[in-house]
Structure 1
Amino acid sequence: MNKLNRFFWFCSGAHIATLEKYPTEQNKYTGIGATIFFTGLFAALSGGYAMYFVFKGDNLAVVFAIIFGFLWGAAIFNMDRYIVASINKSASTNKQLLQATPRILLAIMIGMVISRPIELKIFDKEIKERLKVSYLNGQRAKIDTLNKAFENKYQVEFGRLNQQRATRDSLEKGIKADRQKLNFEIFGNKTAETSGVMGYGPYAKRKEAEIKQREAELDSLKANISKSENFVDKRKEFDGLFAEKLYTKPQLDSLSNVAGFADRNWALGQLKFNVDGSRDDNTAIAVTFIGLLFIFFECLPVFVKLMSARGPYDFATADTDEVSVYQSKKDKDFHIEVADNIHETRVDSESSKQKEIIKGKAYRDLERYDWDQEKA
């Protein structure tokens, strides 16, 4: 437990040698350090999970996820440790809040980044189902677009084919009505168009001949329709429309399993809405509160440091800092004084040398003057 406590003290950014002197402060920094450590741990898991989906399908996906997860967790851990350790408890409350404001904003951003990949894992099943719906709707829309483009391309042929089909339907309907009238005439059913006399008489023979003629026309029309449909099918095959089909269930499962990070992130955002476009408040609240939970967890060490009263450890570290600053200034002044003394010594030395030079020059001038006088 002692080693674990010292590790969490290190995580909190506290000066361990000073903290050991004040037992009443140790639990507070153990809690702060543990929060920072687990935040870095969650960041490592989050970053590794996100990187795994980026390289999913690659043989080295797990290796990349582990490496990136470790680096990302270490970066977040170091940043959180610096954020908490840099809050100066010796300052006034307003100054502490001013110092903490950019750190809290940074903590909120870190919490949002950390929470997203973990939310993807929590809602994994729901995300896959929403992706299946999206892929199926996308494929259906693609097929509809291709069909519309094909119909516009062969608008004349489709117009002729639709007209032939309408004529065929009309002929079939007329033949069916005439055959019913023929049956009424043969079996003696009295109507406005039948005689009511049972038997195969002249009217029945004439009606049957008309029906056969119209059936021949119908057969010829069906043959033309079949030719037109064969032409359209060949053009569809040539343009690749038959190759586009709706995804089957195994295909949708495979696509959702290999979906990338961007698709899954989009699907997570779409979980706040139902398939019909209405808002799903339950899922929206769940996703929002999970994100807020990680944001609060990320900001918690800063809040604890701000809310905690200034204890003996804070006074001791403040005194140590003041002593260090005083000693640094004293050392600086000492070095400046030494430098000034050296400079003055050099100046004095140079002045003495200059005086000797001037004095020697004066002696030589005097000797030269005396010699000149003697010579004269």
Structure 2
Amino acid sequence: MKSFFWWCSGVHRETLERYPEEQNKYVSIGATIFFTGLFAALAGGYALYFVFSGSAFAIFYALIFGLIWGLAIFNLDRYIVLSIDKSRSSGMQLLQAAPRILLAILIGLIISRPLELKIFDKEIREHLRAEYLIQQNAKIDTLNKTFENKYLVEYGQLSVLKTQADSLESSLKTSRQQLNHEIFGTKTEETSGVMGYGPYAKMKENSLNQQQSYLDTLRSEIQQKESVLLQRKKDEGLMDQRILSNQSLDSAVNVAGFADRNAALSNLHKKPDGTINKSTEYAVIFIALLFIFFECLPVFVKLMSGRDAYDNALKNQKEIHNYESDTNVRVEKTAIDKIEDYRVDASIKRRMDKLTHEFSKDDA
């Protein structure tokens, strides 16, 4: 396991073995890189499983993508940690690690989102239920307003008839009360105060019967127009629109896509009254920051570790190898210079042989 974590940290094994006091540090660095890659594989696999949820090959896609994603992050972390030169200044080391830190922020945001959707799944479902119900009510209201605008004349006539019927019904109620006062001898401004069914009572009753007959006619016309409009609503499919039941809402929430769930998560901290739920808002932010920090952890561990004997040994070996490489170039140049005369003689002989061969062919 120690050798494996050394390999994960990208150390030069033969050099590190000469410094036992530094070995545990690089075991820790290697373990951090390994577990970051492993965690990235799990998170990336779950993210893709969430995207392809419901597909027959969702698990297969998640495993393949998770493995590739984890290996990519592992290799990137290993290279960045390996390439940080501890002999340079802190600013140069930070500059070397800057691309990885920026990428870690992006990766943390991408990976944290699907896991946040899973963590707040119950709250998201409730939010989607309320949102879908509001959308359905708005759809029904819009269809009804469109229908009313389309048959504006018919609705205007119906409104006039209803106004007339309401006015006439109110008038009939008052007239019946006056008729009762007349019959029972109640003295008012409109009655004689004499008990009995006299000529005035008969005339009042005849007037009431005529008004009642007209009111029945109005009601019949109102009912007829309402029946026509109701039939047109059925023909145009408006009567098929219903408020979603609990079962329908559950089905809609279960098949909700990533866009709807992501929008619900973004608005989860907003209460129906317009106020902000700070605890939910901070929870979402802190989870994203946790993933970002975890992605940056290998680079931070390497940056925080001081320059040690192993780093000095690597620096010295690098200087030796660079000097050896430069020396090899100089040696080869010197050797070429030394054999220059021989190369000239050989070139002259080769050209003379070529000319001799050409002349012999011409003579022939």
Q: TM-score, normalised by structure 1?
A: 0.85
Percent identity of equivalent pairs: 57
Q: Do structure 1's residue 277 and structure 2's residue 274 form an aligned pair?
A: yes
**Superposition deviation, residue 337 in structure 1:** 4.7
Q: Which residue of 1 aligns with 2:82?
A: 85
Deviates more, 1:249-258 or 1:47-56: 47-56
Q: Which runs of 5+ in 1 are unaligned?
A: 359-376
Q: Which residue of 2 aligns with 1:175?
A: 172
CA distance in structure 2 between the aligned counterparts of 1:292 and 1:58, rounded to whole angstroms: 31
Structure 2 counterparts to residues 151-230 of structure 1, below 5 A: 151-230=148-227
- The one-letter code matched in structure 2 to 1:76 is I
Q: Which residue of 2 aligns with 1:142?
A: 139
Corresponding residue pairs, total: 355
Alignment counterpart, residue 53 of structure 2, candidates 50, 56, 62: 56
SS at match of 2:238: coil
CA distance in structure 2 between the aligned counterparts of 1:157 and 1:357, rounded to whole angstroms: 111
Residues 202-221 of structure 1: CA deviation (Å, up to 9, x unaligned):
33332222222222112111
SS at match of 1:128: helix
CA distance in structure 2 between the aligned counterparts of 1:106 and 1:96, rounded to whole angstroms: 16
**Superposition deviation, residue 126 in structure 1:** 0.9
- The one-letter code matched in structure 2 to 1:92 is S
Alignment counterpart, residue 28 of structure 2, candidates 22, 26, 31: 31
Residue 91 to residue 198, structure 1, CA distance change in 2 (3 Å): same
Q: Which runs of 5+ in 2 are unaligned?
A: 356-364
Residue 354 to residue 136, structure 1, CA distance change in 2 (3 Å): closer
RMSD: 2.6
Q: Which residue of 2 aligns with 1:329?
A: 326
Residues 331-371 of structure 1: CA deviation (Å, up to 9, x unaligned):
4444455555566532122346779999xxxxxxxxxxxxx
Q: Do structure 1's residue 236 and structure 2's residue 239 form an aligned pair?
A: no
- The one-letter code matched in structure 2 to 1:171 is L
Residue 204 to residue 31, structure 1, CA distance change in 2 (3 Å): farther
CA distance in structure 2 between the aligned counterparts of 1:334 and 1:257, rounded to whole angstroms: 74
**Superposition deviation, residue 72 in structure 1:** 2.0
- The one-letter code matched in structure 1 to 2:284 is V
Q: Which residue of 1 aligns with 2:358?
A: none
Residue 97 to residue 56, structure 1, CA distance change in 2 (3 Å): closer
Residue 355 to residue 7, structure 1, CA distance change in 2 (3 Å): closer
Q: Which residue of 1 aligns with 2:18?
A: 21
Q: Do structure 1's residue 345 and structure 2's residue 325 form an aligned pair?
A: no
Residues 228-260 of structure 1: CA deviation (Å, up to 9, x unaligned):
112212222222212222211111111112211
Residues 49-98 of structure 1: CA deviation (Å, up to 9, x unaligned):
22223222222222222222222222222222222222111111221122
Q: TM-score, normalised by structure 2?
A: 0.88
